[in-house]
Structure 1
Amino acid sequence: MSGRKYFGTDGVRGTANTDPMTADIALKVGMAAGRVFIRGTHRHTVVIGKDTRLSGYMIEPALVAGFISVGMDVVLVGPLPTPAVAMLTRSLRADLGVMISASHNPYQDNGIKLFGPDGFKLSDEVEAEIEHLMDNGLQAALADPSHLGRARRIDDASGRYVEAAKQTFPRGLRLDGLKVVLDCANGAAYKVAPAVLWELGADVIKIGVTPDGTNINAGVGSQHPEALKAAVLAHKADIGIALDGDADRVVLCDERGNLVDGDQVLGLIARALKRRGQLAGNTVVATVMSNLGLETFLRREGIALERTAVGDRYVVERMREGGFNLGGEQSGHVVIGDHATTGDGLVAALQVLAELVQSGKPASDILTVFTPCPQRLKNVRVKDKALATALLTLPAVTEAVAAWDEKLNGQGRILLRKSGTEPLVRVMAEATDPAMVDAIVEDLCATIEAIATAQG
């Protein structure tokens, strides 16, 4: 990932109307990505979706202009979840898919995520090729006036995703009598997610379904589950589901107000798939951030855990390499390979709801499948991404980590990494002793802050 100018861990992302998230750069992304994916002599097509951010009105037409200028037709689907765009890219036999979203970030940010014709996120190598074209030779990519692309809108795109999501729910099973609080984060799923649950028979209490362009992820959604918890308790609901701005993450809440993260969801779905003989390779793929408790639980269930770098696309890459069908992140990205090519918060929630209905038990009895090992994550903000990268290998930092590792004596983990989108060093520790976890995190953060300050 070093030396990348535009792409981070999940596409291009930044503050709207500032570099790299400007209309000019969006235009170049469209031109370069279009050029890379024009292969063969057929009419080429790109599917473009977005979430509910105000800046989507700026980024979308810039991308459209870029793609059309190199001869690629554009299909616009409007506000839809990221996994819906991936699904439609495959369904429409398109050459490329684009989601305009900054996921769980506040409305001031936006991003551009790209999917290949197979519905999977692009590899680092293809993104590097697009980056190279953006700064070199775009003029040569321009189409002859007679070969410009065209743009059209598909009005039933949301209905297609609703049906696809419902198909992942067991046939013959319904949600009748189940009271569900659904928080859509004022984001991309604000129409489709309630429709899916309602059509399956649930009594749906909706929050976060009134987007105004600036309230996406604002005090609602998976990043702010307090709203979900309060609504579940106030309405005496059976379960709560919170998605993020582009609906590729999910956080759950049981009827008692206990919140459940992606690790618990992974554990629950893994056990259910193994019970049915449907867990490919008896393996789950997660990132280095997933809790040790998940690893211990899976081992007891006879399931292996493989870890990757942080980022759901790295999880998916390992799933594809190993032929596995379940993976995800503690943050709530859950990828069920039999149903989707990327994280899908709604589809993951549907699998949990199926287990809930079939068990006949309250959510509090089934959602928490293991006791998490005490874990803490703290961010240290530094002046720029280059410094964040450099700090990770400085002797003073590595020696401090080694000293704490020795004290842990194999009874925990320490992980330092840089953010892929912000100038942050993330410090994570977990151990059986919560006091030691706090001591490790505070000491390492203080060390990093002192060095960063000294470096200006």
Structure 2
Amino acid sequence: MNSNNFADRVARSGVAFGTSGARGLVADMTDELCYAYASAFLQTVARGASTLVLGHDLRPSSPRMAAACAAAAAAHGARVIYAGALPTPALAYYAAQLRVPALVITGSHIPFDRNGIKFYRADGEISKADEQAMLAATVELPTSLGLAALPEPDAQVAQAYVQRYTQFFGSQALAGMRVAVYEHSSVGRDIIGQILQALGAQVLPLGRTDVFVPIDTEAVRPEDIAQARAWAAEHRFDAILSTDGDADRPLLGDERGQWLRGDVVGILCAQFLRAQVVVTPVSSNTALEKSGAFAQVLRTRIGSPYVIAGMDTALAAQAQNAALQAGPVVGFEANGGFLLASDVMQHGRQLAALPTRDAVLPMLALLSLARQRGCQLSDLSVDLPKRFTASDRLQAFATDKSRTLIQNLLADVVQMAATLAPGAGAVAEVDQTDGLRVTFANQDIVHLRPSGNAPELRCYAESATEAAAKALCDDCLARIGQL
């Protein structure tokens, strides 16, 4: 066997940790590299683990990557519970119930030529400190991996995820509702339909494909916007639901086929759960604070590890100060992924904490909220402050180029205004929590940030109307693309 410094191997591969796990080109995610990542995890973060939950999404490259990770687990003496193709939160939930670590092979929403690995300790997602511990490891690779065929999936993993929601919401929670599921290549396409049916809904499956579709819930493709509206006119449903590739980020559409913004979904889900503390990245809609619905709002950098760290801080504060109201602590991201730090009790039923991004909880919460209020999904946000967000990205935009652009704008406030929002007035506030977020005199907001997962520059915009927010985002990216 050959000993290798893991950090050097990672640097040579071009596969690196991003905002959520390790990501890279499929061509670079070799059997040896996947084995090395799993080995580094098992000898540092999950040291001594006797059991590992393992699953993956529907990308063609994912099963082989999973087999390489299973080989590493065998070398470390860990029994593998193979879950097959299931949503990331389903795998994380089952592992948390068993108090064992988990690995999920998924590239989430990123392009088809990429993939990744997500890592879970027995108590939840790994931290940035855990990533550094892995990078400091020395891995030993066998001269031949000899990958074994993956076994039949353990059905208990999926069953536990379905029961999580049926036991909390109840078998008649969605009775009488007609819900479309835009299935595409989401790994959650089957289990989401099962959950909806178990809650009494009539399910209409649409758009299943064997070709991987990189759905990004923060930058919905024009064809998906048009398709949802066409389906709404044709099928007359109460809602249309979908997710990204690994089903930890929801895409919810109303009865008109209008997709809801993920940060609005997060606010409404937090209201349904009667949250006291909400943690969210700096890029999320400021209607969260302006609504006055929550005792405390904490803002973080973008990425679930930062949201989780913020939720841990809030939980610690509740534990140390009896004067604080110990209501639910939750988190969400602008992509709609919802994290639950506290157990929630409603109507004598308990929903256990799941501090990782989940798509199903916000879906069911908003459908249930519409039932409670006796309204349509499109009416749920009527009472929220009139702040609207839009986001998009420039693809094939190198990270170094993004960083140089931001530094140049910081050095020239006049150029900053001219590039980001020339019609919004003077720069009123600059926030560098994560990238460059600028508030202007008219309260418009433009936020530029290099993606942590791919060579892309993301733009988040906020304004007083939906059309203004979209124009703000589109025009900013158009100007940058011409630089």
Match of 1:116 in 2: 121
Match of 1:253 in 2: 253
Residues 9 and 259 (structure 1), Cα distance of their counterparts in 2 relative to 1, 3 Å cut: same
Give, in whole Å, the separation in 1 of the partners of 2:212 and 2:304.
25
Match of 2:42 in 1: 34
Instruction: Tell whether the 8 Å contact from 1:100 to 1:112 is kept in structure 2 after alignment.
Output: yes
TM-score, normalization by structure 2: 0.77
Give, in whole Å, the separation in 2 of the partners of 1:99 and 1:131.
19
Match of 1:373 in 2: 387
Name the aligned partner's letter for residue 8 of structure 1.
G
User: Following superposition of structure 1 onto structure 2, how do residues 50-449 of structure 1 map, counting pairs within 5 Å?
Assistant: 50-94=56-100, 96-118=101-123, 120-133=124-137, 137-139=138-140, 153-169=153-169, 171=170, 173-208=172-207, 210=208, 212=210, 214-217=211-214, 223=220, 224-274=224-274, 279=275, 282-297=276-291, 299=292, 301=293, 303-323=295-315, 325-337=329-341, 338=343, 339=352, 340-370=354-384, 372-380=386-394, 384-394=398-408, 399=413, 400-401=415-416, 404-406=426-428, 408-409=440-441, 411-432=443-464, 438=471, 442=475, 446=479
Match of 2:421 in 1: none
Q: Secondary structure at the match of 1:191?
A: helix
Give, in whole Å, the separation in 1 of the partners of 2:163 and 2:109.
25
Q: Secondary structure at the match of 1:77?
A: strand
Identify unmatched segments of 5+ residues in structure 2: 1-7, 143-149, 316-327, 344-351, 419-425, 429-438
TM-score, normalization by structure 1: 0.82
Task: Show CA shifts across 1:178-217 (max 9, x none).
Answer: 1111223322112211111111111000124x453x3344
Q: Secondary structure at the match of 2:427?
A: helix
Residues 225 and 117 (structure 1), Cα distance of their counterparts in 2 relative to 1, 3 Å cut: farther
Match of 1:454 in 2: none
Name the aligned partner's letter for residue 42 of structure 2.
G
Instruction: Tell whether the 8 Å contact from 2:45 to 2:133 is kept in structure 1 after alignment.
Output: no
User: What displacement does 1:158 show?
Assistant: 1.4
Residues 449 and 123 (structure 1), Cα distance of their counterparts in 2 relative to 1, 3 Å cut: farther
Give, in whole Å, the separation in 2 of the partners of 1:429 and 1:374.
8
Name the aligned partner's letter for residue 133 of structure 2.
E
Give, in whole Å, the separation in 2 of the partners of 1:439 and 1:265.
21
Q: Secondary structure at the match of 2:457?
A: strand
Give, in whole Å, the separation in 2 of the partners of 1:191 and 1:220.
19
Task: Show CA shifts across 1:46-98 (max 9, x none).
Answer: 1111111100122111111122223222211001101011111112232x211
Identity %: 27
Give, in whole Å, the separation in 2 of the partners of 1:126 and 1:181.
40
Match of 1:46 in 2: 52
Equivalenced residue count is: 420
Give, in whole Å, the separation in 2 of the partners of 1:265 and 1:334.
9
Give, in whole Å, the separation in 2 of the partners of 1:307 and 1:219.
22
**More strand per residue: 1 or 2?**
2
Name the aligned partner's letter for residue 13 of structure 1.
R
Instruction: Tell whether the 8 Å contact from 2:238 to 2:376 is kept in structure 1 after alignment.
Output: yes
Residues 397 and 380 (structure 1), Cα distance of their counterparts in 2 relative to 1, 3 Å cut: farther
Give, in whole Å, the separation in 2 of the partners of 1:380 and 1:235.
34
Name the aligned partner's letter for residue 411 of structure 1.
Q
Q: Secondary structure at the match of 1:394?
A: helix
Task: Show CA shifts across 1:336-355 (max 9, x none).
Answer: 33342211111211111221
Give, in whole Å, the separation in 1 of the partners of 2:23 and 2:442.
37
Give, in whole Å, the separation in 1 of the partners of 2:237 and 2:332.
27
Residues 369 and 107 (structure 1), Cα distance of their counterparts in 2 relative to 1, 3 Å cut: farther
Instruction: Tell whether the 8 Å contact from 1:183 to 1:221 is kept in structure 2 after alignment.
Output: no
Residues 306 and 206 (structure 1), Cα distance of their counterparts in 2 relative to 1, 3 Å cut: same
Q: Secondary structure at the match of 1:357?
A: helix
Give, in whole Å, the separation in 2 of the partners of 1:192 and 1:328.
22
Residues 445 and 97 (structure 1), Cα distance of their counterparts in 2 relative to 1, 3 Å cut: same
Instruction: Tell whether the 8 Å contact from 2:128 to 2:305 is kept in structure 1 after alignment.
Output: no
Name the aligned partner's letter for residue 374 of structure 2.
G
Task: Show CA shifts across 1:407-448 (max 9, x none).
Answer: 923723332221101223334343448769857874686468
The root-mean-square deviation of aligned C-alpha atoms, in Å, is: 3.2
Give, in whole Å, the separation in 2 of the partners of 1:191 and 1:162.
11
